[in-house]
Amino acid sequence: MRSCELAMVVTLALAAPCVAAETGRKPAAVDAPKADVMSAATFSGLTFRGIGPALTSGRIGDFAVDPARPERYFVAVASGGVWKTENAGTTWTPVFDREGSYSIGCVTLDPRNPNSVWVGTGENNSQRSVSWGDGVYRSDDGGKSWRNVGLKRSEHIGKIVIDPRDSRVVYVAAQGPLWAPGGDRGLYKTSDGGATWTAVLKISENTGVSDVALDPRDPDMVYAAAYQRRRHAWTIIDGGPESALYKSTDAGKTWRKLTSGLPKDVDLGRIGLAVAPSAPDVVYAIVEAAEGKGGVFRSTDRGESWEKRSSYMTSSPQYYNELVCDPANPERVYAMDTWLHVTEDGGKTFVKVGEKTKHVDNHAMWIDPADTDHLLVGCDGGIYETRDRGATWEFKSNLPVTQFYRVAVDDARPFYNVYGGTQDNFSLGGPSRTTSVNGITNADWFVTTGGDGFVSRIDPADPAIVYAESQYGGLVRYDRKSGEEVDIKPQEGNGEAPYRWNWDSPLIISPHSHTRLYFAADKLFRSDDRGDTWKIVSGELSRGIDRNTLPVMGRVWPVDAVAKNASTSFYGNATAISESPKVEGLLYVGTDDGLIDVSEDGGTSWRRVEAFPGVPSRSWVSRVEASKHAADTVYAAFDDHKDGDFKPYLLRSNDRGRTWTSIASDLPAGEVVYAVTEDPVDPALLFAGCEFGVYLSNDAGGHWTKLNGGLPTIAVRDLTVQQRDGDLVLATFGRGFYILDDITPLRGLTRAALERPAALFPVRDAAAYIERSPLGGRGKSFQGDAYFTAPNPPFGALFTYYLKSTPKTARELRHEAEKAAAGKGVAPPYPTPEQLRAEAREAKPAVVLTVTDSGGNVVRRIEGPAEEGFHRVAWDLRFPPSTPAELPSEKKEPDPWDAPDRGPMAVPGVYAVRLATRVNGVTTEAEGPLQFRVVPLGLATLEAGDRAAVFSFEEKTAHLQRAVLGAVETAKEARGRLARIEVALTATPAPVAALAEQARSLDGRLAGIQRALSGDKVMERYNEPVPPSIVGRVQGIVAAQWATTQAPTATMRRSYDDACAAFAPVLAELRSILDGDLVKLDAALDAAGAPWTPGRLPAWSKE
């Protein structure tokens, strides 16, 4: 750790009670493996904050609806895990976030037990962006817990069906690996609930099964669709001679290939199946085939013979080709397609259902068997529901599962914005946080361009100028002020060869000129005028390989092969660009075929790097990033998963790309690296975005640690550090954007620092402002539970601290000593009564953070958790509330419009925080405080100029509030005592009439005090006007002044004076009653032998 940063880390020793001091013996040491202080668990307290959006949602793969309770269903998100709703989508719960996969192919409920949920991982499409899974999961408690039950090498599962007669019998259609041969591929069956599996239909290492269906009358009759396909970076072959339909009549023991009436003499591709529930003899198949011979086929004899009903085919069978049959009408069948289609005549004709207000690209459907006009449809844009068969649609706008390819941030104030491009859901921008108590809502987001979105770049000199990219090099310059888009994509000249754009083409703004852009296809383009004009500054960037000469599945395929090269970028183009921020014109360009070209003169000349140590040839360059600190240093990430290689490849060069060294070190196998970035402050601090999460390295790549606090299992396709605020911002592929607020604690962090007992880390400047309430209440306000909101970071100053170990209580230490003694065969000493009593009284250990002002005066004490690892606690920039103290059990749920219980806001300036631990009543202070600033945002039009004077008024108002509310509670308590006294006097044998009269008189006086304090409740009940009460005046000032940075009005000041004038005699009267009259009455009660009442201790002596 560098010395300047070492000084910022404050350490202290933790105190804990010692059993040895009480027993006189030293407890035996307990041998345990030493925990790694740089583990994921250490950092789990640094939690990412998901900011959505849910404006456009994301790709849905499947539904599983409880037939007994159709409002309860599970959703398989193509690359966002599994979600559950209990209320038809009003609210959602992610139930798969800690499992090994996030890519989901299907979800199925056991028809005999809807709490038994089966999930097939690995999206069941063959698109270029799909991720892979790790087999089949099962839950027996409705998604609360899961276990992997096998087929871990299947990677993509098309469907799971369960025998309705026997829950132990399950069939799994395993498509198998998309990018490579082998794996768990075919139709698998278990007869013991997943304990063991048998491949009942195995075709070859290249062919799996994409669909399976059972006859509902005879579940031993099984239909299966074999699917031969392979995808690589440069191509797809979506069929072959092994794709076919199969049928078994003996539960998978034997199979027959079905051919009668199906396409002959051509290769088949993906086949979708549907058995008509109301007429199971009727079976539909949508068959992809070469030479245009595919279409929709129907069998009316259980698959024995087929009739081609039409040549209808989905727009991209590898992405769709699923049929859903109406449960009541065997002639009505829906086809999942770009536009949702339906046939009403058994497949003869298909028409669009109608999606004027709905997203396209449909993948999943559920039809309500009780009302077949009621549909759930899952598409690339999320979930839609209709109750009139598509005439109108309701969008589930609260499911944040957007797939982002890229992320960018601007420097807007007061808070920066986050931008990114999505899979089929536009390019979007929105705030990293807001000043609203409602957080971030869908209304805060905006579209910058359409299509599939990719790179966004924001002009550092003018955040209103946004460059937004769509597929294959579409590029616009978007003006946030006007909403205008200008197309600035480079165009070929007459006679010029077509440019080869990648699906996700790289774009940067030069760090040396905010008007200079670099954009790449198979060549590098440069613009010095924000994209108005372009010039080519490189030659051919790729290896120039003809993709049609490359073997796939062991052979070179002809031009008419099924869907050959469909939905695939032209091979040989740029995928990554970087310019050194230290050296103008030092450019790096990476390609999809494994090259990095380097120019040190702005593109005049180039040097090619063709091989990298340990990296397979032609590996996709997923990222190249020039160092922010060292002119000669550059990082490169390679992605070879499209050749079936899931290893992490991450390299660094310290000589401008001439030589390279791997820094993948201990990144786990299977963590494909998509992005890497270097912290702008600490050159040793790196972050890597990988297939299943994000990793940090504090030693320039020597060791990597996963950051998973608040982050589900998810691919991180891109990441960046917002330099001004020091936030780490992630683009996830299926769960939207995530932010780790303030990475300052990670800068300069070393293992040695984490071996110390505790540490308190530097505090970022805290923004002071009044939170808005645009919806009239906090959170969702009155918008209903379906209203989507994402959280802002905690308001105020965020304190980060670390504990190496959890402080032990006396009981825990005793248990450890007893366990150690038992391990050695020694009887432990039995605890004394004093020890046991002390243990019973001991409070839970806590961390105490003390905030002081510039004069050393204590402003606030805040408690935090005392468990090992990192933690964060926020100070809301306010003094403690002046309201009466309440026990946790006494606190009531506030109304949505209630302001939080709080004190006056601190004056902007310099403050300090120090850390202490409290264990068994002993507080151990830190060695020294850390200073930080409270900085006003200055948002108010009429903000007070003299904040100190405003605070002086607020402070004296708070003092008055404390006294007034205390008087209210005291008067209430005193009247309660008098009510008990009245009961006691009734039970007293001695003459007590005079005492009873005194009690009634005191009660009347107290009632008058309560009227003065809280108002005339009797007259209010009769709807008569009443004068302002003391409490009303004080609370009115607090409610208004605590919620503004403006100076108090003259009316407020007068109200304060009026409240003081009215309160002084009331307080004197109350004190007279408490200290005089009530004391005398208590003494008289005791003398009369009255039963005990609260507030007095009975006199007694032995007789």
Calpha distance 665→649 (Å, rounded): 9
Looking at residue 34, what is its pLDDT?
Answer: 61
C-alpha closest to that of 840 among 820, 818, 814, 872: 814
Residue 992: count of CB within 10 angstroms of its CB: 21
The residue-averaged pLDDT of 656-679 equals 98
Q: Which residues, at least 6 apart from 666, have a Cβ–Cβ distance to it below 8 Å?
A: 703, 704
| Tokens, residue 1061 | 């004038």
**Structure-token pair, residue 261:** 């009436």
Residue 927: per-residue pLDDT? 67
pLDDT of residue 25: 33
The tokens of 1018 are what? 């009797």
The mean pLDDT of the chain is 95
Task: Name the range with the highest mean pLDDT among 452-456, 919-923, 989-993.
Answer: 452-456
pLDDT given at position 6: 35
Per-residue pLDDT of 1004-1020, as tens digits, reads 999 999 999 999 999 99
Q: Is the pLDDT of residue 664 over 70?
A: yes
Which DSSP helix (H) or strand (E) runs through 718?
A: strand 716-722
Residue 49: partners with Cβ closer than 8 Å, 6 or more residues away: 710, 738, 739, 740, 741, 790, 791, 793
Amino acid 381: pLDDT:
98
Confirm whether pTM is higher than 0.85.
yes
Check: CB of residue 57 under 8 Å from CB of residue 89: no
Q: In terms of DSSP bridges, do strands 673-678 and 507-509 run parallel, antiparallel, or are they unpaired? A: unpaired
Res. 812: pLDDT tops 90: yes
- Cβ–Cβ < 8 Å for 848, 862: yes
- Assigned token pair, 670: 């299977």
Residue 262's pLDDT band (cuts 50, 70, 90): very high
* Section 452-469 average pLDDT: 98
Indicate the pairing of strand 244-248 with strand 207-214: unpaired
Cβ neighbours of residue 154 under 8 Å, at least 6 residues apart?
120, 122, 133, 135, 136, 172, 174, 175, 176, 177, 183, 184, 185, 208
Q: Which amino acid is at 1051?
A: T
pLDDT tens for 204-253 read 999 999 999 999 999 999 999 999 999 999 999 999 999 999 999 999 99
Cα separation, 400 vs 413, in Å, equals 25
pLDDT over 80 (residue 26): no
Q: Mean pLDDT throughout 624-637?
A: 99
Say if CB 607 and CB 597 are below 8 A apart.
yes
Helix (H, G, I), strand (E, B) or coil at 175: coil
- CA atoms 1083, 1084, 1087, 1092: torsion sign: negative
| pLDDT grade for 900, boundaries at 50, 70 and 90 | confident
Q: What is the pLDDT of residues 400-419, one digit of tens each?
A: 999 999 999 999 999 999 99
Q: Residue 56 to residues 105, 470, 740: CA-CA distances in angstroms?
A: 21, 16, 23
pLDDT, mean of residues 813-840: 93
Section 346-366 average pLDDT: 98
Weakest mean pLDDT among 49-53, 777-781, 853-857? 777-781
Name the nearest CA neighbour of 1047 among 922, 951, 963, 980: 951
Q: Looking at the predicted structure, is the pLDDT value of residue 15 above 50? A: no
Query: Do 688 and 698 touch, CB atoms closer than 8 A?
Result: no
Band (605; pLDDT cuts 50, 70, 90): very high
CA-closest candidate to residue 208, choices 233, 234, 226: 226
Residues 1090 and 980 sit within 8 Å (Cβ to Cβ) = no
Q: How far apart are CA 531 and CA 517, in angstroms?
A: 7
The closest alpha carbon to 785, from 91, 220, 135, belongs to 91
Q: What percent of the chain has pLDDT over 90?
A: 93
Tens of pLDDT, residues 584-600: 999 999 999 999 999 99
Count CB neighbours of 24 within 10 A.
8
Q: What is the pLDDT of residue 894?
A: 79
State the pLDDT at residue 24: 37
In contact, 124 and 157? CB cutoff 8 Å = yes
Quickly count: other Cβ atoms within 10 Å of residue 401's Cβ: 29
Q: From CA 683, how far away is CA 467, in angstroms rounded?
A: 28
Fold of domain 408-490+501-754: Methylamine Dehydrogenase; Chain H (2.130.10)
C-alpha–C-alpha distance, residues 872 and 796, integer Å: 12
Long-range contacts of 189-194 (CB under 8 A, 24+ apart): 189/251, 189/252, 190/149, 190/150, 191/166, 192/168, 193/138, 193/149, 193/167, 193/168, 194/136, 194/138, 194/149, 194/150, 194/170
Tracing tokens 């599994």 back to the chain, one arrives at: 82
Measured CA to CA, the distance from residue 428 to residue 405 in angstroms comes to 11
CATH of 8-23+784-886+898-936, one of 3.40.190.80, 3.40.440.10, 2.60.40.4070, 3.30.70.580: 2.60.40.4070
For residue 662 the two structure tokens come to 């791997």
User: Which residue, 747, 770, 1102, 803, is CA-closest to 937?
Assistant: 770
Partner residues linked to 428 by β-bridges: 420, 447
829-853 average pLDDT score: 95
Tens digit of pLDDT for each residue in 153-181? 999 999 999 999 999 999 999 999 999 99
pLDDT digits (tens, 9 = 90+) for 1037-1077: 999 999 999 999 999 999 999 999 999 999 999 999 999 99
pLDDT for the residue numbered 896: 72
Chain-centroid distance, C-alpha 800:
21
Please classify residue 108 by burial: count the beta carbons closer than 10 Å to its beta carbon, then call 0-12 exposed, 13-18 middle and 19+ buried. buried
* Spacing of C-alpha 753 from chain mean position: 29
Handedness of CA 141, 145, 149, 151 (dihedral sign): positive
Amino acid identity at 41 = A
CA distance 978 to 984: 10
Asked whether 212 and 161 are in contact (CB, 8 A), the reply is yes
Beta-sheet strands, E only, within 568-618:
574-579, 587-591, 596-599, 607-609
Q: What are 61-115's pLDDT values in tens digits?
A: 999 999 999 999 999 999 999 999 999 999 999 999 999 999 999 999 999 999 9
pLDDT band per the 50, 70, 90 thresholds, residue 892: confident
Place 873 in a pLDDT band, splitting at 50, 70 and 90: very high
DSSP states along 901-935? S--PBPPSEEEEEEEEEEETTEEEE-SS-EEEEEE
The pLDDT tens digits of the residues spanning 674-730 come to: 999 999 999 999 999 999 999 999 999 999 999 999 999 999 999 999 999 999 999
